[in-house]
């Protein structure tokens, strides 16, 4: 009976350590050969804020948040922003994506869903790099901001809770 219980405990620990996606054979071989490659498993978003201008305002949406992935070595800690000066770094014809301060991390904001994209094994030389993708749908606490306020007229929202985590669910070649 004790062996059975120990086997269940070991299996549960193994299940927690396995990423939510399956790496392709080519990528897993790269990860196995390298001392530097640890495939991304999970990430944390903190202090997510979004401001959506009212229809009559010519301003663009503003998004700010902090991103952390300590499942890779070295850990990635960066800030992410979307504002009037942000440039789409994604491939033509796909959803616009924006680089965080650390260019290994990009994000997409669509209809209340935050998609995080992280370059996998950035120190490896691959003909086509891979990226891990994860999704968060933040629960937002919003209020209307007045036209004459510091940020202008629109809707300002902050995530509740302030700290959200998710697993990467996909590992694919980069589209560009």
Give per-residue pLDDT as tens, 27-83: 444 444 445 678 899 999 999 999 999 877 667 899 999 999 998 888 999 999 999
Q: Which domain covers residue 140, as residue numbers?
A: 2-173
For residue 86, pLDDT over 50 is answered with: yes
Q: What's the burial of 30, exposed, middle or buried (CB within 10 Å: 0-12/13-18/19+)?
A: buried
- Quick check: 100 and 82 in contact, CB under 8 A? no
Phi-psi region of 42 (alpha: psi -120 to 50; beta: other; left: phi over 0): beta
Tell me the pLDDT band of 18, cut-offs 50, 70 and 90: very low
Residue range 91-100: average pLDDT? 94
Number of domains in the chain: 1
Question: Rounded CA gap, 113 and 133, in Å?
Answer: 13
Instruction: Over range 126-144, report the average pLDDT.
Output: 91
Per-residue pLDDT for 23 more than 70? no
Q: Which two tokens stand for residue 161?
A: 């809770």
Question: Burial letters for 96-127: b for 16+ Cβ neighbours within 10 Å, e otherwise?
Answer: ebbbbebebbbbbbeeeebbbbbbbbbebeee
Beta bridge partners of 159: 140
- In order of 61, 68, 108, 159, 168, the CA distances from 49 in angstroms are 11, 16, 14, 7, 22
Residue 147 has a pLDDT of 65
What integer pLDDT is reported at residue 4 of this predicted model?
A: 43
The residue-averaged pLDDT of 127-134 equals: 89
Q: For all residues of the chain together, what is the average pLDDT?
A: 81
- Can you give the pLDDT at residue 21? 47
pLDDT band at 149 (very low <50, low <70, confident <90, very high): low
pLDDT value of position 11: 45
Q: State the pTM of this model.
A: 0.77
Residue 7 has pLDDT above 60, yes or no: no
Percent of the chain with pLDDT over 70: 74
pLDDT at 6 over 50: no
In this prediction, residue 17 has a pLDDT band, given cuts at 50, 70 and 90, of very low
């Amino acid at each position: 009976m004790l062996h059975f219980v120990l086997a269940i405990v070991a299996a549960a620990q193994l299940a927690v350590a396995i990423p939510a996606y399956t790496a392709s054979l080519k990528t897993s071989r790269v990860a196995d050969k390298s001392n530097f490659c640890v495939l991304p498993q999970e990430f944390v978003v903190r202090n997510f804020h979004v401001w959506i201008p009212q229809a009559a305002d010519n301003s663009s949406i503003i998004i700010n948040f902090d991103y952390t992935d300590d499942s890779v070595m070295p850990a990635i800690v960066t800030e992410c922003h979307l504002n009037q000066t942000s440039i789409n770094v994604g491939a033509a014809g796909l959803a616009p994506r924006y680089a965080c301060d650390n260019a290994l991390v990009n994000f997409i904001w669509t209809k209340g869903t935050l998609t995080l994209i992280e370059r996998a094994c950035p120190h490896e030389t691959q003909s086509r790099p891979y990226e891990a993708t994860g999704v968060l749908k933040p629960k937002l606490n919003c209020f209307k901001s007045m036209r004459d306020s510091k940020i202008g007229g629109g809707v300002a929202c902050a995530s509740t809770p302030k700290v959200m985590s998710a697993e990467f669910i996909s590992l694919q070649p980069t589209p560009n």
